[in-house]
Amino acid sequence: MTVALRRTALCVAAFALVATGCTTKPADSPSGGAPKDDASTGSSSGPVTLKDGSQVKLALIPGGAHPYFQPWKTTADTDKTDFKLGGVTFNETGEWDQGKQNNVISSLAAQGYNAFGIFGVSPTDINSTFEDLKAKGFAVGSLASCPAGDTNAADFCLSTDVEAAAYKAAKATIEAIGGQGTIVHLTGNNVDSNTQRRIAGVKKAVAETNGKVTELPVITDIDKDLSTAQKAVADLLASKGKEIKGIVTTAYNPAVAAADGVASSKLPIKVVAIDDDAKILSGIKSGGVAATVTQNPVGQAYVGGWLLALLQSKQCTMKTPGVIVDSGSFVVTKANVDTYDDERKAKTKTLQTDFEKQLSCQ
Amino acid sequence: MSAPVSETATQALQEDAPVEKPPRGTPWWANQRIGLLLLVVLLGALFGVLRPAFFNQQLVIFPLLRDIAMFTVVGLAQLCVLSIGHMNLAVGRMAAFSMMITGISYDLFHLTLYSGLLVGLVAGTAIGALAGWVIARTGVNSFVVTLALDFLLLGMIPLVYTSLTDNAAFVVKPPGMRELRNYSLADVCVGNVCGSPAVPQLALFAVVAMVVVGWIYSRTRLGRELLMTGSSVRAAELSGIPTARRVITAHAMSGCLAALAGFMLAVSTGSIKATIGEEFMLPSFLGPILGGTLLAGGFVSIWGTLIGTALTSVIRKGLDLLGVGLESLNIYLGLILLVALSTDRVRTLLSDRSVLGGPPLTSPPPPKREGEPR
């Protein structure tokens, strides 16, 4: 039967090769290459209104499931209604694996989606994915994270400047502890370029104190899930709780775990969190959390969707492809906890104005 | 290309022992690999009917075949140690370690694409051989040794990356890497006739790996000795097989193939980073086991590994295209696999019944051999 199986397998392999088909080399045609951009170069003034978004199918694709991206889901529907798009989808099945995310993207492209707002799992790999999509004529925006290095192969990047946000968070922590003492930084995946940028942002703020503030070794790789973060926080408080005056967190799960852990230990530690989870906001109101640095996921999805629709409908082109725009980060304390969202909405409006300067439209 | 262990140690060591015929009367459809192959084809056809985009060569078939090729090599890496009844829990981290060495060779020594690959393969072989040597010398279970090695590498690799790179990745792309990622057989032409645009050139690495591993297990003394060691270490030792060396060989082969899979992943995603191989461990078992390779050792199936890998990849791609959400994707994947394996069991039972109920055999069937897949 082994021999029969081998023959069958060879036949199937041969059939598969034939079924996928051979091709004939066309005369004088390149094998790939990006399509020519045929948009006009007229400069825009004032708000740009999308003329016809019916041919645009927008896909917003995070790296995987995470509370940060949940606003993208509802904002995608808002994009569809406001800009009368042909279709929208939100797909979080990438499972934080670049290979799986690439598969999700290509499957969506095969189903007719032609404008992609992507949070790349791997900042060092995502440019290859962007290049593939651009070569096939799709509009691509890097949302919530920019590729590592100096090059952005997407049409634009609309993201929190993570180093600046971490710097703000560290400054807020230093201010909360009165300008001197020991702080510790809790963050996510150490082998992620964004984490390295966050670490650099915190170190920069600490260095500016000229030794008045010292930083314990950074605790990384605890954003996998809440229980991992809770365990790390419990260990930290048990071993060095009395030494620490402030905790700065630049990832979601460590932020929630630190807020909870410090509250239950009753240690006089100032916690500066990230994002605006309900637990964190209530911690700010009760005084258990000194501050939080919120980002702008709604602005990223709304403005990103608008921009992608303009680009894919060929109404506009980017004057400088690959431009990077900060979507904003906002320090929230007890003083502005009820009004910070107004500031965020205002930033979203100015983002559209900022991008209009980057567009050439018909 | 499957290689069962021979009936006795002496037979196992005879290079040109005649191929033993299967018992007559067993229907062709009772073969596990043929059943899986039919299942893959049927599922492919079903997904194609539900979503015609499934047959899109550029956007679906090309990345699907690239994935199948890579995970087949991952499966072969595990198959090598399964053949001796061992496990390699560090298969992913061996890929990461090898690619770290390859990344250093590209970044610091500016090696060419294939020279760097060769360095990575050597590094993978070395780390695999080290695992095998520890197992052979200490007699500690492979599960424990490779798990310990996994932890060791888990700590070491990020340290090296953070000290040598800015972004925890080697982003230097030697000439040819970008092309290897995107080129298909359509870029390989003989005269005016070119290959299929649906078949990635990267898949050729998997073909080469399958041919080499298949040849070793079905045609060489080394392969038979490995299977014999997996079937019964004591019997192998009594037959004069240097089992300790075979353990080292199997783990070295596993490390080498893990390195190749890591290279394929690095090429297909775009850079060499510390997280390469994190997703390798479960698929490394899934492909070979679905395809009939025995966990206990003594029997391997190279074609089965390919088909088992293809089954899971096709299901996942089909579910992606059907727009199944995250909350239910893994449930459907698990359910379909369960149904597939149950169908396989039902088919085996039907086959046994048809053999028993059929006309008497001209000669009594040989006894079930140890290690024969059921």
Residue range A21-55, pLDDT digits in tens: 555 555 444 333 333 333 333 344 446 888 888 99
> A91, A107, A114: best mutation site toward chain B, by most B Cβ within 10 Å?
A107
B190 touches chain A (CB under 8 A): no
- Is the CB of residue A122 less than 8 Å from the CB of residue B271? yes
pLDDT for residue A337 is more than 70:
yes
> Phi, psi at residue A194, to the nearest 5°?
-65, -35
Q: Which domains does chain A have, with CATH numbers?
A: 57-160+297-329+338-361 (3.40.50.2300), 162-294 (3.40.50.2300)
Look at B273 and A122 and tell me if their CB atoms are within 8 Å: yes
Residue pLDDT, tens place only, A269-279: 999 998 888 88
Nearest one of B358, B284, B219, B301 to A5, comparing CA atoms:
B301
Nearest to B271 among A24, A111, A125 (CB): A125
Q: Nearest chain B Cα to A15, which residue? A: B41
For residue B184, give Cα distances in angstroms to A4, A35, A322, B270: 30, 20, 28, 16
What residues are paired with A43 via a beta bridge? A360
pLDDT confidence of residue B374? 34
Give how far the C-alpha of residue A54 lies from the chain's centroid of Cα atoms, to the nearest Å.
27
The CA distance from A15 to A287, in Å, is: 69
Residue count of chain A: 362
- Is the CB of residue A283 less than 8 Å from the CB of residue A263? yes
Transcribe B155-192 into DSSP letters. HHHHHHHHHH-SSSEE----TTHHHHHH-BGGG-EETT
What residues are paired with A156 via a beta bridge? A141, A323
The CA distance from A244 to A228, in Å, is: 20
User: Residue B36 has which token pair?
Assistant: 């899986």
Percentage of residues in chain B having pLDDT higher than 90: 61
Look at B60 and A107 and tell me if their CB atoms are within 8 Å: yes
B266-A108-A72 Cα angle (round to 5): 95
Helix (H) or strand (E) holding A303: helix A297-312
Work out how many CB contacts closer than 8 A connect A with B.
Answer: 165
Q: N- to C-terminal Cα distance for chain B? A: 17
Look at B270 and A193 and tell me if their CB atoms are within 8 Å: no
B73-B77-B80 Cα angle (round to 5): 130
Nearest one of A254, A293, A307, A292 to A143, comparing CA atoms:
A307
Q: Which CATH class is domain B2-18+26-353?
A: mainly alpha
Across B201-212, average pLDDT: 97
User: Residue B245 has which token pair?
Assistant: 């060396």
B187 touches chain A (CB under 8 A): yes
One-letter identity of residue A148: A
pLDDT for residue B32 is more than 80:
no
Q: Nearest chain B Cα to A99, which residue? A: B269
The Cβ of residue A285 has, within 10 Å, a number of other Cβ atoms equal to: 12
With beta carbons under 8 A apart, name residues in chain A contacting B329: 93
pLDDT confidence of residue A44? 40
Transcribe B229-265 into DSSP letters. HHH-HHHHHHTT--HHHHHHHHHHHHHHHHHHHHHHH
* Alpha helix (H) residue ranges in chain B: 9-13, 32-50, 62-82, 91-107, 113-138, 142-164, 177-182, 203-219, 221-231, 233-238, 243-269, 281-290, 302-321, 326-357
CA distance A22 to chain B (A): 4
Q: What is the pTM of this model?
A: 0.81
The CA distance from A198 to A250, in Å, is: 7
Nearest one of A293, A63, A340 to A198, comparing CA atoms:
A293
> B39, B207, B227, B320: best mutation site toward chain A, by most A Cβ within 10 Å?
B320
Q: N- to C-terminal Cα distance for chain A? A: 68
Q: Nearest chain A Cα to B269, which residue? A: A125
DSSP single-letter state for residue A43 = B
The Cβ of residue A337 has, within 10 Å, a number of other Cβ atoms equal to: 18
The CA distance from B253 to B128, in Å, is: 7
With beta carbons under 8 A apart, name residues in chain B contacting A111: 51, 53, 321, 323
Helix (H) or strand (E) holding A111: none
Give how far the C-alpha of residue A14 lies from the chain's centroid of Cα atoms, to the nearest Å.
44
Percentage of residues in chain A having pLDDT higher than 90: 59
Look at A122 and B329 and tell me if their CB atoms are within 8 Å: no
> Phi, psi at residue A178, to the nearest 5°?
85, 20
pLDDT for residue B14 is more than 50:
no
B348 touches chain A (CB under 8 A): no
B271 touches chain A (CB under 8 A): yes
Nearest to A93 among B34, B61, B320 (CB): B320
Q: Nearest chain A Cα to B164, which residue? A: A191
Q: Nearest chain A Cα to B270, which residue? A: A125
One-letter identity of residue A155: D
One-letter identity of residue B227: L
Look at B269 and A98 and tell me if their CB atoms are within 8 Å: yes
B57 touches chain A (CB under 8 A): yes
Query: Quick check: helix, strand or coil at residue A247?
Result: strand
Residue with more model confidence, A102 or B353: A102
Look at A106 and B186 and tell me if their CB atoms are within 8 Å: no
A109 touches chain B (CB under 8 A): yes
Q: Nearest chain A Cα to B181, which residue? A: A128
Look at B167 and A129 and tell me if their CB atoms are within 8 Å: no
Residue pLDDT, tens place only, A54-77: 999 999 999 998 888 999 999 999
A6 touches chain B (CB under 8 A): yes
- Is the CB of residue A246 less than 8 Å from the CB of residue A176? yes
- Is the CB of residue A216 less than 8 Å from the CB of residue A182? yes
Look at A125 and B273 and tell me if their CB atoms are within 8 Å: yes
- Is the CB of residue B293 less than 8 Å from the CB of residue B305? yes
For A220, residues 6+ apart whose C-beta sits below 8 A from its C-beta are A187, A188, A189, A190, A195, A199
User: Residue A337 has which token pair?
Assistant: 């906890």
One-letter identity of residue B324: V
Which segment of A125-134, B307-316, B327-336 scores lowest on mean pLDDT? B327-336
The CA distance from A246 to A186, in Å, is: 11
Residue pLDDT, tens place only, B86-104: 999 999 999 999 999 999 9
Nearest one of B300, B216, B227, B244 to B132, comparing CA atoms:
B244
Nearest to B167 among A8, A20, A124 (CB): A124
The Cβ of residue A30 has, within 10 Å, a number of other Cβ atoms equal to: 6
B42 touches chain A (CB under 8 A): no
Nearest to B53 among A24, A31, A111 (CB): A111
pLDDT confidence of residue A282? 87
The burial of B276, by beta-carbon neighbours within 10 Å (0-12 exposed, 13-18 middle, 19 or more buried), is given as: buried
With beta carbons under 8 A apart, name residues in chain A contacting B321: 107, 110-111
Q: Is the dihedral of CA B135, B139, B142, B144 positive or negative?
A: negative
Average pLDDT taken over every residue of chain A: 86
Segment 193-212 of chain A within 8 Å of chain B by CB? 193, 195-196
Which segment of A22-31, A276-285, B82-91, B156-165 scores lowest on mean pLDDT? A22-31
pLDDT for residue A202 is more than 80:
yes
Residue pLDDT, tens place only, B249-282: 999 999 999 999 999 999 999 889 988 999 899 8
CA distance B295 to chain A (A): 20
CA distance B40 to chain A (A): 12
Any idea of the CA torsion for B264, A121, A193, A251, to the nearest 10 degrees? -150
